[in-house]
Structure 1
Amino acid sequence: MNPWLGAAGALAGLLLGAAGSLITGRVLHQPARVAQSWWLGALLTAPLLAALGWRIGLRGELAVYAFVLALGVPLAVVDWVEHRLPRIVVLPQLAGGVLGFGFLCVAHSDPLPGLRALWAALAAAGFYLLLAVLVEGGVGSGDVSLAAVVGLVTGWSGWTELAGALVLASVLALFLLLVPNDGARRKGIPFGPCLVAEMAVVVVIAG
């Protein structure tokens, strides 16, 4: 645990979050002043990267996690507002994670974590694809793609971390579904914020 890296992560999060708000504004179909504001992106991203820096320290995984979560914030915001996850953001996020972990495997001369991460990505995407088939209208293709990202990132640490992230995301989604919205229960909830939030929680806890 490194408090100095935590402070540096907070500063980087403020800058990356402000920049990420530009992505949010570009991919939103309808303008939303608060959702695409620089300060919202900064306030959401800064604590994530601060926790990563504090917990993980100077390890190669830090750059990969920071990249994935920095893109995860605009995805979560867009999904919360419009219930969709744009592939133009999810696919570069997934590709960046694969390339980053691939580089770490080569640098460490150890392919096993990378192979596990790839299998975990396939497993998580397959699970959400099954949900998409079984629950009509509840899970979209963007959720399947983001689940692959979650599987990749948490699977790098282990299968337990992957299972924990998916279970926690499901619990959070169920909680949001049951919470009344304007006096009535929600008819649907966005999975994106749940997946991003629990991926961040598991990565920080696992270190």
Structure 2
Amino acid sequence: MNAWLTAGSAAVGLVLGAAASSITKTLLRQPARVAQSRWLGAVITAALLALLGWRIGFRGELAVYVYVVVLGVPLGVIDWVEHRLPRIVLLPQLAGATLGLGLLCFLRSDPAAGLRALWAALAAAGFYLLLAVLVEGGVGSGDVSLAAVVGLVAGWSGWLQFAGSLMLASLGALLLLLLPHHGSRRRAVPFGPCLLAAMTAVLAISG
């Protein structure tokens, strides 16, 4: 079953990733041939969904994770290239994830995971808001919103997954900051890819 689900998730990722690449192409303000290509979004999305399909299995959470990741890949690419996270993608991502997890709570008649996810989303957003205040120019409002998404999704699985996602994202950002750079532009750290990669890795590890 897992092999078929992994292959199916990868196939869905190729299709949805190629389609979502139109978001990247539309919202990027500067020409970036590789970043705007359909194959890049398709390959990244397919790899991430195959990993989640293999580890999560045929559960309702998988549909929510697919939605978040499909929109997350364009966000990650845009943030990597231009260091910004468009709200026009972030807000539907946050709303869709909230509605999807809320529906799971209703169908299972168990609000515990949903309440934990909401508290985790608030905690993650609050943490990044504090960083935005303390680190001038280092963290933007888009990072705060994306942190809420990551907190919501990771918090659904548990507090350990929530903490692991934030710690892994922070480590990734630190590594990017320490990389050799040329000019002041390289000093800006794209938190978006770090947050999304950390969330996906923790979900895959925890299963």
Q: TM-score, normalised by structure 1?
A: 0.97
Q: Percent identity?
A: 72
2:91 aligned partner:
91
For residue 126 of structure 2, what is the aligned residue in structure 1? 126
Equivalent in the alignment of 2:202? 202
Question: Within 2, Cα distance between the matches of 1:90 and 1:138?
Answer: 19
Pairing of 1:30-179 with structure 2 (within 5 A): 30-179=30-179
Distance in 1, matches of 2:159 and 2:91, equals 23
List gaps (5 residues or longer) in structure 1.
none
Q: May I ask how many residue pairs the two structures share in their alignment?
A: 207
Contact kept? 1:173, 1:191, Cα under 8 Å = yes
Structure 2 gaps of 5+ residues are: none
Cα separation, 1, equivalents of 2:182 and 2:137: 22
The CA distance in 2 between the partners of 1:183 and 1:148, in whole Å, is: 31
Flag as ranges the 4+ runs of structure 1 deviating above 2 A: 181-186
Q: Deviations over 1:131-182 (max 9, x none)?
A: 0000000000000000000000000011111110000000011001101134
SS of 1:35's equivalent in the other structure is: helix
CA distance in 2, matches of 1:186, 1:177: 8
Q: Greater shift after overlay, 177-186 or 79-88?
A: 177-186
Deviation string for 1:93-126 (max 9, x for gaps)?
Answer: 0000000000000010000100100010000000
2:72 alignment partner AA: G
Q: What is aligned with 2:17?
A: 17
- 1:6-64 CA-partner distances (Å, limit 9, x unpaired): 00011011111101110101111122211110000011101100011111111000000
